DNA sequence: GCCCCTCGTGGAATCGATTCCAATCTTTCT
DNA sequence: AGAAAGATTGGAATCGATTCCACGAGGGGC
């Protein structure tokens, strides 16, 4: 493959001049410029990004470590991240942690070794020494969706609190009183927050959240199934299962169907994270939708700001409730309760 | 960030010796080795992959250019590719072409500029000059799923021919006679092959495939909706719609539902590509499942073989039919036709 | 006791770019 | 005309690794 020296020889100039033409430095004569351009075209020359990165100490690359590529929420996030990054002149390398801290570390290490300019992470756990060290060492970093408390890194995420309140209002209005949640791992912020938001919203309606109604999942479908089976085995099973992510909702659907029960007739189901497939499931699933694309774009903007020396700020965007049929139609016998809170626009 | 010189200074040896320890070259004394290891640990030194790549002309990185990250088929593929690559000591950089040839070119160029060791492509179109040139120039390359005829590059893909025959047998057995297909772009091999396999299978049952029953989609949901609306507007609409990928099937489902029609009561639906969500849609969708994970792994093995100078061979794996409820239950009035072919195991 | 061979080691070249600095050639102003 | 300023240009250093080559020390054989 042709190098800058070959181009220089072909154009009859020095490598320095070729480099200047390539980076359109002003101080090059028109004559030299055209000769270099001709040589570049003739040789099909492309600058070696590896060499360039070594010299300039910039890779124009962002690392994105997500918790699970098979989760449509994260692939949508990844897509918007890549899109915005491309628009800003950066490439993205995606690392899939599969919800495994060891894999997450593998990718963080790998990305750091490649000297990426900045790191976008949705941490799988409370933060490995490696990640904390990277943050501390000044690697430009931004958390998306999930974050690690106590680390001084901007966070771009959605706040589902209001939407969860809307959901509980909706469920309460439908007459449901025994509500259960399939939570995420305690090591993740989203795993904790969603339970807390749910518990708080229930309290506003005078409802409690007994321990038996809090299942611990891992954001994967299989755990949703397992937890739901536990719920159904209870002497008094819940009337509603709220899954803290879309995959666990899928698992819950499996478990419910396996018992020959119907949604929402026998039990209602709601999920955090709205994915396009929820429109087509049987029944369509009521879900809390995050502004995923906007989160990805904002995260990239915050990260590139940091990289380029500008201050990259945290951002929290509201999620919103999308009502479908999985929680049932309002029973006509029971009059709807007075509205306690307005639904978000 | 500490460099090899810092380690050398700390250990009181030369950079050459440090390098030898790092690459566990045999000719290093035990004493020097332990001193270097101590220095590495003390400084938290990590070799700079950029510098290493420049020198060795190897990046230990594979490029994967897929047609659409939002398509679960491709994300599953990407996942298995990354898994196998990791097991073999390679990293993967994913480029999402979004079914757009210009974006595909952008990613191919970018990956080539980064001097990736090899390229895995599922081409969006018939092949840009850039890609043909790369293949011709000897860049180790393997096509997955889709390929470009006439280019001397190994192809790892699934053969759906037998499964499509099984599907048609299934549909014919259910009494359906007017079968339509939503095809993919004519520029892709899978876009063409699936139609041909379908047409051939129909012929075996004495059925034709009129032009009006062949819609041209682009593997995205929206096109599936559009094409299906066209089908439903026909004076004699088809009894079955077979979508050549899972997203177009989703679009078809939208279009059908928008008219207030039921699947399979009013019209049957089948899809190429099985995705986990098809189990949960209303109704569950009959689909042709590819051995996606195995395809990804085999493609990586073929590519790394090429990279390492071994011969990487093409591979074609069979797809298989997964019957669910979207095509209807066998009408008891009509006796089932004699079996023409056995279903695959 | 001397020679040769092996082992361990460091110096220096190298990969392909960028960029500082000095040198040359113009041009302009007094 | 001479000097100063400005425009172009190339040589050489540099980024952080790897690896060839040469050198010195030590061990074994005769």
The answer to whether B10 and B44 are in contact (CB under 8 A) is: no
Residue A334 has pLDDT above 70, yes or no: no
Q: How many residues does chain B have?
A: 345
C-alpha torsion B111→B316→B321→B206, nearest 10? 120
| Gap between the Cα atoms of A21 and A10, Å rounded | 14
> Class of A57-157+292-317 per CATH?
alpha beta
Q: What is the share, in percent, of chain A residues with pLDDT greater than 70?
A: 95
Residue B128 pLDDT: 87
Spanning CA of A28 to C1' of D16, the rounded length in angstroms is: 30
C-alpha torsion A229→A231→A236→A237, nearest 10 = -90
Residues with Cβ < 8 Å from A335, sequence gap 6 or more? none
State the Cα–Cα distance between residues A265 and B44, nearest whole angstrom.
Answer: 59
Query: Does this chain's domain A57-157+292-317 share its CATH topology with A159-290?
Result: yes
Band (A282; pLDDT cuts 50, 70, 90): confident
CATH for B56-157+292-317, options being 3.20.20.70, 3.40.50.2300, 3.40.50.10860, 3.30.230.10: 3.40.50.2300
Q: What number is the average pLDDT over the span A251-267?
A: 94
A8 CA to D20 C1' in angstroms comes to: 28
Q: Residue B330: its pLDDT value, please? A: 53
Rounded mean pLDDT, A29-38: 96
Kindly report the CATH class assigned to A159-290: alpha beta
Running along chain B, 345 residues long, what does each successive block of 10 average in pLDDT?
A: 96 96 94 96 97 97 96 97 97 95 96 97 90 92 95 95 96 96 95 96 96 96 97 97 97 94 94 94 94 98 96 95 87 42 41
- Count CB neighbours of A318 within 10 A: 14
Q: Is the pLDDT of residue A328 over 90?
A: no
The architecture CATH gives domain B159-291: 3-Layer(aba) Sandwich (3.40)
User: Do residues A200 and A229 make contact, with C-beta atoms less than 8 angstroms apart?
Assistant: no
Q: Give B114's contacts in chain A (Cβ within 8 Å).
A: 49-50, 91
pLDDT at A332 over 70: no
- The tokens for B130 are 């850039």
CA A209 vs CA A212, A223, A270: distances in Å? 8, 20, 16
Domain ranges across chain B: 4-47, 56-157+292-317, 159-291
Assign A333 a pLDDT band (cuts: 50, 70, 90).
very low
Do residues A21 and A33 lie in contact, with contact meaning Cβ atoms separated by under 8 Å? yes
Q: If interface means Cβ-Cβ distance under 8 Å, which residues of chain A face chain B? A: 44, 46-51, 53-54, 59, 69-70, 72, 75-76, 78-79, 82, 86, 91, 93-94, 96, 106, 109-110, 112-115, 133, 221, 250, 253-254, 276-277, 279-284
Q: Which CATH architecture has domain B4-47?
A: Orthogonal Bundle (1.10)
Residue A166 dihedral angles phi and psi, to the nearest 5°: -60, -40
Cβ-contact B108, B131 below 8 angstroms: yes
What is the maximal distance between C-alpha atoms in chain B? 90
Contact by Cβ (8 Å): A164, A204 = no
Picking from B176, B226, B168, the residue whose alpha carbon sits closest to that of residue B194 is B168
């Amino acid at each position: 493959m042709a190098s800058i020296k070959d181009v220089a020889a072909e154009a009859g100039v020095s490598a320095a001049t070729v480099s200047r033409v390539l980076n359109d430095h002003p101080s090059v004569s028109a004559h030299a410029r055209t000769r270099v351009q001709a040589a570049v075209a003739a040789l099909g020359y492309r600058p070696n990004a590896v060499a360039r990165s070594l010299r300039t100490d910039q890779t124009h690359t962002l690392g994105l470590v997500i918790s699970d590529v098979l989760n449509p929420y994260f692939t949508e996030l990844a897509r918007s991240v890549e899109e915005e990054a491309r628009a800003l002149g950066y490439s993205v390398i995606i690392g899939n942690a599969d919800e495994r801290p060891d894999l997450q570390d593998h990718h963080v290490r790998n990305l750091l070794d490649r000297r990426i300019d900045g790191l976008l992470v949705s941490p799988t756990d409370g933060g490995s020494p490696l990640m904390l060290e990277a943050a501390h060492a000044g690697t430009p970093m931004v958390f998306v969706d999930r974050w690690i408390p106590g680390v001084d890194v901007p966070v771009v995420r959605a706040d589902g609190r209001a939407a969860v309140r809307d959901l509980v209002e909706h469920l309460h209005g439908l007459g449901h009183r025994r509500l259960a949640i399939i939570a995420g791992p305690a090591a993740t912020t989203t795993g904790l927050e969603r339970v807390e938001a749910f518990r708080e919203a229930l309290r506003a309606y005078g409802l409690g959240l007994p321990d038996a109604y809090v299942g611990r999942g891992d954001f994967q479908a299989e755990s949703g199934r397992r937890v739901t089976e536990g719920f159904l085995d209870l002497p008094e099973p819940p009337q509603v299962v709220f899954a803290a992510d879309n995959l666990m909702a899928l698992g819950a659907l499996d478990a419910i169907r396996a018992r020959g029960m119907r949604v929402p007739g026998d039990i209602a189901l709601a999920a955090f994270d709205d994915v396009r497939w929820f429109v087509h499931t049987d029944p369509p699933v009521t879900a809390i939708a995050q502004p995923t694309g906007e989160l990805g774009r904002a995260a990239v903007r915050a990260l590139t700001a940091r990289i380029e020396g500008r201050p990259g700020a945290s951002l929290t965007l509201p999620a919103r409730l999308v009502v479908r049929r999985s929680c049932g139609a309002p029973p006509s016998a029971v009059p709807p309760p007075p509205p306690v809170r307005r639904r978000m626009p």
